[in-house]
């Protein structure tokens, strides 16, 4: 199905099932521990062995010598695979560095070996016996030290590296009010609950991998390319994923080494990356240094806005596109953005929840707050003053929907923003200094092809099959709701099967594109199934009503199960969007409001209240969507106050590489969170009239926290995370 304009007749608009706060259909499996995650698939293949991965002990250099003899002789050892005996390996299109290192080492904890044994304990013991001598090479581990070597990267997923509209330099120079500030964000880790884990089994030259992966088709393509085998010989199965946040978008070492280990051992092998290995071996959100310059008239109207960002990555890696939102969020005739990428020998940086915007909003929305302070204008009012209904870089292109102003106004009213004292450090509650902060939320809405197959059986059940994945976002449920709405059956009559490369290729889970596109693909397949049913019954599909398990037309009522008499009816189709993305700028918007308390003596920060107001098209399942947003808000608090993959600049590793040292928010850190969805449908986005929402919830949160800390204390921190040591020396004198 090609979607280029709003559907005239749309069964989804009935809203009998879609749009209702529906509990997860797979929830009972997860809460009873019977949902099989990758490492737990004991029954899928017999005679499973265990693999344990060895990570490089240096950050850059080469393996000078490796001694495997003691490890090979250890009890239970079946095989040891290194680059020396792995055979010729390619590199997946989406991998910047080889997943198996040797003799050259690209980064710390790059996998260099796997030991396979009959038990996990034997495999773990064997890797302790592997002896490796390294020769360190010249290395670069400090982003700030290599800024002068940073170059302009090629256009990436986030668009061109640079943009230049009007005459930024002149407009900024003559602006009556100017802001010029630099902000830094640290490296951050995904820290998902489930580790990267895989079970690999060969059947002749055919490979099946049960794994934890967000993008099945990408994984198949890159694994086949790495192993040098036809992609038709690779099957990936990933029905349940215990969190990903972008860290499982791409092929990682667990998948490759499980496959190599299984081939060498001659039996299936399961591998789970050890938690301390994951932070350096897999991808992370790269650190940034961002300079923002804004020029404005005294009434708050922005006349010049410039945003420059520097990040680093391994050779072949992409930049963190932290300037993306600045191209679209606020009006201003004279604009400039620039992205620079430096070569670093740290582990690969790549997508993490809201890549680009999450980091960019951490800086931009403090800068806007600072500008409001300079102007003496309320921060909410300043944002509203600079709203735009067109793409500022391409004014001929309108936003399909843009309710940023409504989000700000609704949030301000609900949060009691009018009670905020604009003068910092003036409000106390006992020993606590109290402050409020605000930030806009922005994340682009991406449309991409997505396919599904639907089957009607003789019991009136509808089965949906697509390689779409569920990373805890509720894909199973919204896909079931879509099929139930389209086919006129109750939810319990729908079976959803996900995460298998034998199924039609979907959009996959990432970039907050999963919900809208995957359900639109199911919509397309259901339209085709409705047509097949109508044709079999000899009726006009456009006149047929599918409801209550019955097909109705005129005075004729036919049970849906009867339509499948003689055999299942199967239909397959995909949603495709044509030039839709070029015609309209599609984005999601919101506003975050935060209240903090800062201890006047210790500078301890406590978040007291949070509110998010989001405009993200039709909300397909408010219950699941709310869960996604408050989870993202929680991640935003972590980014603001604690998360930091601290770089050891001598040895090139993240020293906070476990969940003891890499701090994330816990229950005590997060107060009750309130969130509101504006009533919005976007008919330009898809037949579902929905958009993404899962990543919108993190964008701007950290800045809202930072702005609240400033309002509480008068101390402006531009270096994340905002830890008490950055506040103490500048705290107000005790009253």
The catalytic site residues sit at 695
Helix 622-641 to helix 357-375 angle (10° resolution) is 70
Distance CA 114, CA 52 (A): 5
730 Ramachandran zone, left/alpha/beta (phi>0; psi -120 to 50): alpha
Helix (H) or strand (E) holding 80: strand 77-82
CB 109 within 8 A of CB 345: no
Residue 300 DSSP SS3: coil
Strands (E), 533-636: 545-547, 550-553, 556-559, 569-575, 587-599, 605-615
Distance CA 333, CA 331 (A): 7
Residue among 358, 354, 372, 392 at smallest CA distance from 438: 372
Residue among 123, 140, 47 at smallest CA distance from 80: 123
Distance of CA 235 to the CA centre of its chain: 24
Residue 563 DSSP SS3: helix
Distance CA 647, CA 661 (A): 13
CB 724 within 8 A of CB 603: yes
Token pair 């680093």 is at which residue? Answer: 312
Distance CA 341, CA 118 (A): 45
DSSP code per residue over 330-351: S--SEEEEEEEEEE--SSPB--
Question: Terminal CA-to-CA distance of the chain, rounded, Å?
Answer: 68
Strand 104-105 to 269-272 pairing: unpaired
Distance CA 246, CA 638 (A): 17
Whole-angstrom CA distances from 438 to 116, 178, 372, 718, 722 are 53, 21, 12, 16, 16
Residue 84 DSSP SS3: coil
Phi, psi of 485 (to 5 degrees): -65, -45
Whole-angstrom CA distances from 198 to 241, 258, 262, 275, 691 are 11, 7, 11, 14, 32
Phi, psi of 607 (to 5 degrees): -75, 130
Phi, psi of 465 (to 5 degrees): -130, 125
Distance CA 304, CA 332 (A): 6
CB 10 within 8 A of CB 526: no
Strands (E), 600-688: 605-615, 647-648, 653-654, 673-677
Dihedral sign for Cα atoms in the order 26, 29, 33, 35: negative
């Amino acid at each position: 199905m090609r979607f280029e304009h709003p559907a005239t007749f749309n069964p989804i608009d009935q809203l009998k099932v879609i749009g209702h706060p529906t509990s997860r259909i797979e929830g009972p499996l997860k809460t009873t521990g019977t949902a099989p995650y990758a490492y737990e698939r004991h029954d899928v293949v017999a005679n499973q062995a265990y693999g344990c991965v060895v990570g490089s002990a240096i950050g850059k250099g080469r393996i000078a010598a490796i001694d495997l003899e003691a490890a090979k002789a250890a009890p239970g050892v079946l095989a040891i695979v290194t680059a020396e005996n792995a055979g010729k390996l390619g590199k997946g299109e989406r991998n910047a560095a080889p997943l198996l290192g040797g003799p050259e080492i690209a980064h710390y904890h790059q996998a260099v070996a796997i030991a396979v044994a009959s038990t996990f304990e034997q495999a773990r013991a064997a890797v302790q016996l592997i002896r490796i001598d390294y020769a360190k090479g010249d290395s670069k581990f400090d982003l700030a030290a290599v800024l002068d070597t940073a170059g302009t990267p090629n256009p990436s997923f986030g668009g061109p590296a640079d943009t230049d509209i009007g005459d930024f330099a002149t407009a900024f120079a003559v602006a009556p009010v100017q802001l010029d500030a630099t902000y830094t964000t640290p490296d951050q880790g995904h820290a998902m609950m489930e580790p990267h884990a895989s079970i690999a089994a060969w059947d002749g030259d055919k490979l099946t991998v049960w794994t934890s992966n967000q993008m099945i088709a990408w994984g198949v393509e890159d694994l086949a390319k790495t192993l040098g085998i036809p992609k038709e010989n690779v099957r990936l199965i990933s029905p349940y994923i215990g969190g990903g946040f972008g860290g499982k978008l791409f092929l990682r070492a667990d998948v490759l080494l499980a496959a190599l280990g299984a081939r060498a051992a001659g039996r299936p092998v399961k591998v789970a990356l050890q938690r301390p290995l994951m932070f350096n071996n897999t991808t992370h959100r790269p650190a940034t240094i961002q300079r923002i310059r804004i020029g404005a008239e005294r009434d708050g109207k922005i006349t010049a806005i410039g945003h420059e960002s520097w990040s680093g990555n391994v050779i072949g890696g992409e930049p963190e596109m932290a300037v993306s939102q600045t191209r679209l969020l606020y009006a201003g005739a004279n604009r400039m953005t620039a992205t620079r990428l430096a070569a670093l020998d740290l582990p690969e940086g790549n997508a993490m929840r809201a890549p680009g915007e999450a980091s960019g909003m951490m800086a931009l929305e403090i800068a806007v707050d600072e500008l409001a302070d300079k102007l003496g204008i309320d921060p909410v009012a300043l944002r509203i003053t600079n709203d735009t209904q067109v793409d500022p870089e391409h004014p001929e292109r309108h936003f399909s929907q843009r309710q940023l102003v409504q989000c700000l106004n609704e949030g301000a009213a609900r949060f009691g923003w009018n009670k905020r004292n604009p003068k910092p450090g003036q409000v106390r509650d006992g020993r606590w200094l109290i402050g409020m902060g605000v930030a806009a939320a922005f994340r682009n809405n991406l449309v991409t092809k997505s396919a599904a197959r639907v089957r009607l059986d003789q019991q009136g059940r509808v089965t949906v099959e697509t390689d779409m994945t569920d990373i805890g976002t509720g894909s199973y449920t919204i896909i079931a709701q879509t099929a139930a709405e389209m086919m006129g059956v109750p939810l319990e009559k729908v079976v959803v099967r996900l995460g298998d490369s034998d199924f039609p290729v979907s959009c996959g889970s990432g970039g907050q594109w999963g919900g809208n596109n995957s359900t639109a693909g199911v919509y397309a397949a259901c339209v085709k199934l409705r047509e097949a049913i109508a044709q079999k019954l000899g009726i006009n599909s456009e006149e047929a009503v599918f409801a209550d398990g019955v097909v109705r037309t005129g005075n004729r009522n036919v049970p849906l199960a009867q339509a499948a008499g003689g055999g299942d009816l199967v239909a397959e189709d995909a949603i495709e969007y044509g030039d839709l993305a070029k015609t309209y700028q599609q984005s999601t918007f919101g506003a975050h409001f935060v209240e903090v308390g800062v201890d006047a003596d210790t500078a301890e920060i406590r978040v007291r209240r949070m509110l998010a107001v989001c405009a993200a098209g039709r909300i397909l399942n408010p219950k699941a969507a709310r869960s996604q947003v408050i989870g993202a808000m929680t991640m935003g608090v972590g980014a603001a106050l604690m998360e930091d993959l601290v770089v050891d600049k001598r040895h090139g590793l993240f020293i906070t590489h476990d969940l003891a040292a890499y701090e994330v928010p816990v229950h005590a850190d997060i107060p009750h969170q309130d969130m509101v969805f504006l009533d919005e449908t976007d008919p330009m986005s898809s037949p579902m009239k929905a958009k993404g929402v899962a990543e919108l919830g993190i964008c701007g949160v950290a800045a809202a926290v930072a702005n609240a800390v400033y309002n509480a204390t008068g101390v402006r921190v531009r270096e994340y995370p905002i830890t008490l040591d950055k506040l103490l020396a500048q705290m107000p004198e005790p009253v």
